[in-house]
């Protein structure tokens, strides 16, 4: 006899069944008889009985132990307020359950290291011993540097992808996935994917690229990939789509910036029947033609959106879809529906024009003084005519037509989608994409990823995974803080510090006891949706 879980996609409910196997003599096959037991809570995993009409005789659902103090085996006094908060959130998000399923022998160590990265954001892992001696945490023991390196090396690709699948299954299929890539610099010379490439932070070191997928509704990451440092953004979409297929997501809605725009990528998205929203350059023929046609009507008052302070318009267009089929030796050419969203922001236009003015003044001074810079040679030729004579010296004349052409599209920007018709909704969805950029900031600043300091590929893969787990916790806390407008009073570190001073006391044979908890701390627990330890 076994208990089997089955998810109903129509209702979104997971049911638990008692499954009893038997041998069918006529068909000469093994068969199973299933009996409905009840519903499965997606967060806690608990089974809630149905009305009982199909409940098997003599069957009892195991009761889950109540959350609360557990008898101690040693005498100690440690800090527990912040790690208690993370304990509760880990169960709520299914992190503990999913990690336990994928890493049954090391999940507590992974969680404890993630806690350390969150609470000691600027400390190296070599300081874990001191932190462990002062804090109550899931593993409950020290993890020396050698053991943490061994732990990182033991985290396999198969186990990581199983975790991604479990986490992806907990996300709403209707929400949009924000996808972006960042560069992470490294001093290491022994890692295969460390390459020199376009560093977005202008860091003159070899780098590794990291791709991250974020749920815009849940505000939680559920997947990442590491890439060679010399791979450009636009070349990563095909493999990312293949990975999406591996995660068994029925519906994919992607949001990407214009660095991912290419005809090949758009065709791939249409081919796989994925929904998308992508930023587009104004220099594209498709965008340029439509913008020139509606440039004046776009700025009519009826198109103004007060929330975003922009003029917005949707223009239905046709996409020339091309799909090559090598196995049949032909090419499919069709027209596909697409929505081009055009916007104008007067404040942005003024800023761009002011930036151009400062740039032109600097270029003019360089020409007049004779101190030309080689990297600006194309700009000199584009915006100025230079006449030089022995008698009059250097005379610099601006090319007004070139300046007017540059100003022509200031303040305008464009998005393309094969699903969203409303330009305001499209802009809402697109601007939420900054979740990924903020997540990259968290990884680099709070989770020790500004520089990679690992000596092997296995250690790199494992450390990235632990940092990713920590990022899920941080993302949830940040969303709760934003929702409850806590950033006006606290930074993320300030909030965690409020909890980190709460102590717990342990004595052999006695329940764990919490120290004093102020009303302010109790209120913060409530705001984050967590039962205060004082209530246990």
Tell whether 226 is covered by a domain: yes
Residue 230 has pLDDT above 60, yes or no: no
Tell whether 42 is covered by a domain: yes
Q: Which of 142, 86, 113 is nearest to 462 (CA)?
A: 113
Residue 64 has pLDDT above 50, yes or no: no
402 and 442 belong to one structural domain:
no
**Which is it for strands 177-186 and 451-452: parallel, antiparallel or unpaired?**
parallel
Q: How many domains does the chain have?
A: 3
Across 25-39, 48-62, 100-114, 171-185, least confident range: 48-62
201 and 252 belong to one structural domain:
yes
Tell whether 392 is covered by a domain: yes
CA distance 280 to 291: 12
| Inter-residue contact 267 to 321 (CB < 8 Å) | yes
The last residue of a domain, from among 33, 49, 65: 49
Residue 224 has pLDDT above 70, yes or no: yes
Q: What local confidence, expressed as pLDDT, does residue 59 receive?
A: 46
| CB-neighbour burial class of residue 170 (10 A; exposed 0-12, middle 13-18, buried 19+) | middle
In which domain, by residue range, is 178 found? 171-257+433-449
CA dihedral 299, 301, 305, 306 (to 10 degrees): 120
CA distance 132 to 140: 7
Q: What local confidence, expressed as pLDDT, does residue 56 receive?
A: 47
> pLDDT grade, residue 169 (50/70/90)?
confident
Q: What local confidence, expressed as pLDDT, does residue 213 receive?
A: 83
| Inter-residue contact 426 to 313 (CB < 8 Å) | no
Question: Among the ranges 19-23, 40-44, 151-155, 189-193, which has the highest mean pLDDT value?
Answer: 151-155
The last residue of a domain, from among 423, 449, 475: 449
Q: What local confidence, expressed as pLDDT, does residue 240 receive?
A: 72
Tell whether 133 is covered by a domain: no
- Check residues 7 and 154 and name the one with the higher pLDDT: 154
CA distance 126 to 145: 6
Tell whether 212 is covered by a domain: yes
Per-residue pLDDT tens over the stretch 298-308: 999 999 999 89
| CB-neighbour burial class of residue 317 (10 A; exposed 0-12, middle 13-18, buried 19+) | middle
Tell whether 220 is covered by a domain: yes
| Inter-residue contact 87 to 533 (CB < 8 Å) | no
- Whole-number average pLDDT of the chain: 82
CA distance 235 to 26: 55
Other C-beta atoms closer than 10 Å to the C-beta of 137 total: 27
The tokens describing 255, both together, are 């949001």
Residue 185 has pLDDT above 70, yes or no: no
Per-residue pLDDT tens over the stretch 447-498: 555 455 555 667 788 888 998 999 899 889 988 998 899 988 998 889 999 9
| Inter-residue contact 14 to 39 (CB < 8 Å) | yes
351 and 392 belong to one structural domain:
yes
Residue 77 has pLDDT above 70, yes or no: yes
395 and 438 belong to one structural domain:
no
pTM for the full predicted model? 0.70
Q: What local confidence, expressed as pLDDT, does residue 519 receive?
A: 93
Q: What local confidence, expressed as pLDDT, does residue 139 receive?
A: 94
391 and 445 belong to one structural domain:
no
Q: What local confidence, expressed as pLDDT, does residue 14 receive?
A: 77
Q: What local confidence, expressed as pLDDT, does residue 322 receive?
A: 92
Per-residue pLDDT tens over the stretch 241-283: 776 667 776 677 888 888 889 898 899 889 888 889 999 999 9
> pLDDT grade, residue 534 (50/70/90)?
confident
The tokens describing 382, both together, are 């584009």
- Check residues 398 and 54 and name the one with the higher pLDDT: 398
DSSP string for 388-431: EETTTEEEEEE-HHHHHHHHTTTTEEEEEESS---HHHHHHHHH
Q: What local confidence, expressed as pLDDT, does residue 61 receive?
A: 45
Tell whether 313 is covered by a domain: no
CA distance 291 to 519: 57
Tell whether 180 is covered by a domain: yes
Residue 437 has pLDDT above 80, yes or no: no
> pLDDT grade, residue 58 (50/70/90)?
very low
Question: Among the ranges 198-212, 278-292, 455-469, which has the highest mean pLDDT value?
Answer: 278-292
Strand partners, 331: 324
CA distance 446 to 475: 12
Question: Among the ranges 57-71, 313-327, 454-468, 498-512, which has the highest mean pLDDT value?
Answer: 313-327
355 and 395 belong to one structural domain:
yes
DSSP string for 458-509: HHHHHHHHHHHHHHHHHHHHHHHHHHTT-TTT--HHHHHHHHHT-EEEE-BT
Helix (H, G, I), strand (E, B) or coil at 149: helix
Q: What local confidence, expressed as pLDDT, does residue 90 receive?
A: 95
- Check residues 521 and 73 and name the one with the higher pLDDT: 521
Alpha helices in 281-422 (DSSP H): 285-298, 346-369, 377-383, 400-407
CA distance 363 to 359: 6
382 and 440 belong to one structural domain:
no
The last residue of a domain, from among 449, 479, 506: 449
> pLDDT grade, residue 22 (50/70/90)?
low
């Amino acid at each position: 006899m076994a208990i089997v879980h089955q998810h109903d996609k129509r209702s979104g409910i997971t049911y638990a069944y008692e499954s009893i196997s038997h041998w069918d003599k006529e068909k000469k096959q093994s068969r199973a008889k299933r009996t409905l037991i009840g519903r499965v809570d997606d967060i806690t995993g608990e089974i809630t009985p149905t009305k009982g009409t199909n409940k098997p005789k003599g069957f009892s659902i195991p009761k889950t132990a109540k959350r609360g103090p557990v008898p101690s085996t040693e005498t100690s006094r440690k800090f527990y307020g912040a790690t208690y908060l993370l304990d509760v959130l880990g169960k709520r998000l299914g992190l503990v359950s999913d990690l336990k399923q994928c890493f049954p022998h090391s999940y507590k160590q992974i969680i404890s290291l993630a806690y350390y990265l969150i609470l000691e954001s600027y400390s190296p892992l070599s300081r874990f011993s001191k932190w462990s001696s002062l804090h109550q945490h899931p593993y409950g023991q020290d993890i020396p540097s050698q053991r943490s390196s061994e732990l990182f090396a033991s985290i396999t690709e198969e186990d990581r992808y199983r975790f991604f699948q479990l986490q992806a299954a907990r996300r709403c299929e209707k929400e949009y996935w924000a996808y972006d890539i960042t560069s992470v610099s490294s001093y290491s010379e022994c890692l295969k994917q460390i390459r020199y490439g376009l560093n977005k932070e202008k860091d003159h070191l070899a780098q590794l690229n990291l791709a991250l997928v974020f749920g815009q509704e849940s505000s939680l990451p559920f997947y990442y990939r590491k890439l060679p440092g010399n791979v450009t953004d636009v070349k990563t979409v095909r493999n990312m789509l293949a990975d999406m297929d591996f995660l068994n997501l029925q519906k994919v809605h992607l949001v990407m910036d214009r660095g991912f725009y290419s005809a090949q990528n758009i065709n791939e998205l249409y081919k796989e029947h994925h929904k998308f929203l992508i930023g587009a350059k104004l220099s594209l023929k498709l965008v340029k033609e439509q913008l020139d046609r509606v440039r004046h009507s776009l700025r009519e008052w009826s198109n103004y959106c007060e929330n975003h302070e922009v003029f917005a318009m949707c223009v239905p267009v046709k996409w020339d879809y091309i799909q090559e089929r090598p196995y049949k030796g032909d090419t499919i050419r069709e027209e596909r529906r697409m929505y081009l969203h055009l916007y104008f922001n007067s404040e942005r236009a003024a800023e761009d024009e002011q930036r151009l003015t400062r740039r032109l003044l600097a270029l003019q001074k360089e020409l007049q003084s004779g101190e030309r810079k080689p990297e600006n040679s194309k700009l000199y030729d584009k915006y100025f005519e230079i006449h030089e004579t022995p008698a009059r010296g250097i005379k610099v004349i601006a090319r007004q037509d070139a300046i007017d052409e540059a100003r022509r599209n200031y303040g305008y920007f464009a998005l393309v989608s094969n699903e969203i018709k409303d330009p305001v909704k499209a802009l809402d969805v697109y601007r939420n994409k900054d979740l990924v950029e903020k997540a990259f900031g968290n990884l680099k600043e709070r989770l020790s990823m500004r520089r990679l300091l690992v000596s092997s590929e296995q250690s790199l893969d494992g450390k990235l995974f632990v940092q990713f787990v920590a990022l899920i916790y941080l993302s949830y806390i940040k969303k709760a803080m934003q929702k409850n407008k806590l950033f006006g009073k606290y930074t993320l570190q300030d909030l965690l510090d409020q909890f980190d001073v709460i102590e717990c006391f342990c004595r052999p044979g006695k329940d764990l006891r919490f120290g004093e908890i102020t009303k302010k701390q109790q209120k913060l627990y409530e705001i984050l949706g967590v039962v205060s330890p004082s209530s246990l």
